[in-house]
Structure 1
């Protein structure tokens, strides 16, 4: 799946949008006209007013405003996905989200220790405290305000650290994890494009029964 680098240069963009309609220029960049207008706004590039191209088509020569002085950035660089099969491109919001994730400061890193846990993680840790007599290989949360986890005793701390990193990352992206009722059960959910997606961390374990052989039993001999 190839990616191409798209450069929006201020001077070039100014010349393009005053030489052709924004919709035409946008197609050349492989984005929508709304996205191109956004780029122009970011680079302080003026756009033709409504009715400008109709006047040009009528043989008139409306004035072109000069490119204003600007002390900000003069170029925007973006990565765009291009399908090998259909030549399709990713929507603008997906491109922006991918660029956000690619920044080093936005990487999701699981800490070695559970310091200053998220409130949901603290509640989950309390819910995971094993009642006396429960099988330590099958530990599941029961609290109404705890995340949906099912792990063994030995994996509790690692599971909490993983979920702590995930919950904090979702918060930073404006998609907080919430405990809601879904399918008549309390679920850990994140809302994405209007849909509630349940998130559950489950440790897969395999139980093996061992048969005890008589010759393997050591019986003390009384003298």
Structure 2
């Protein structure tokens, strides 16, 4: 069987194939590399044999074959080589559910999403637009912080993620290829009027909390406060943070005072619905640095209640989108019919134009043929008169005239009216094919 014709391969089929034959053999059937097929298995959450499995299998050993895990809501159900893959439906619940809790002792000390995150922050660049770190890598947890607050915000995010996991929920990146959007962040603690562009770093995929099948976007960020600052040695420092030594230095050197948005050290947790067409969002701010994680239990309860609200909004948005889709399809059908009618009208107009032109061209050609034939007849009559008059000439002179007459006749086309008429194209013949040349005479 030609596997290249299989444009869609289910998780179950791929699972059976990679455990029946080596990856290189299966990859060859699909005409892809084994490393590419391994990435597909990872994306579809299909377990595959580890290195050395087939060598053990050849010796008669039968290593354990892990079962195929069930697909989570939103996960891809197939390898779609052409088009978009089917996904496990979200099955949103319109009312809060009860979830099986886990003990914190069952969970790791650091949430998997935060593994290595501190190193990524250390590698990050300082932004020229704001005082926050811009990590080089973008597939990272949705956390925005200054260097000074980095460790505390990681601790708060870790506590939040683990508490959510302990309540039976999941915190992970948005599933690959899902159309789930991230709500923008306004880092200002107190929003002022006017336009505001902070150019904050953003991850490549949202960080999502899954309460059952309902996804909620999570962002933990440090807020800024609009305070008076002093410009010293190329940087702005809060007036309240200036040391006596810095104040003395500012007095001796050129510096100035202004107001700027500066990191406050206080954190904010922003939760929002990631589904298109929904607007739910909420923020929890620290009134003073260190309020989190005492507020986390209350935040988690609010998030669990909000999951039902989001589910209702998604249902309403999908219903509205379905109505809009049908309206769009109707408009497309109307537009298609209009274009089809316009093409038919243009075709009829073009056919009529060609018909009128063919009649005119045919009449003009027939008139030209008659005129040319009449001209040829006059020339023939002229030749006949010349030939008649040669009877009175001497033999030598007569021979010379007849020779010239023979040459002249060769210069003239036929005067046979039937041949001229056969060369004429009727209007119907003009519309059917190319027009052939008609007989002509030399003027």
Q: Identify the TM-score tier after normalising by the shorter chain.
A: 0.3 to 0.5
* TM-score normalised to structure 1 length: 0.33
Larger radius of gyration: 2
Q: Where is the helix percentage greater, Structure 1 or Structure 2? A: 2
Higher relative contact order (CA 8 A, sep 6+): 1
- The TM-score, its normalising length taken from structure 2, stands at 0.17
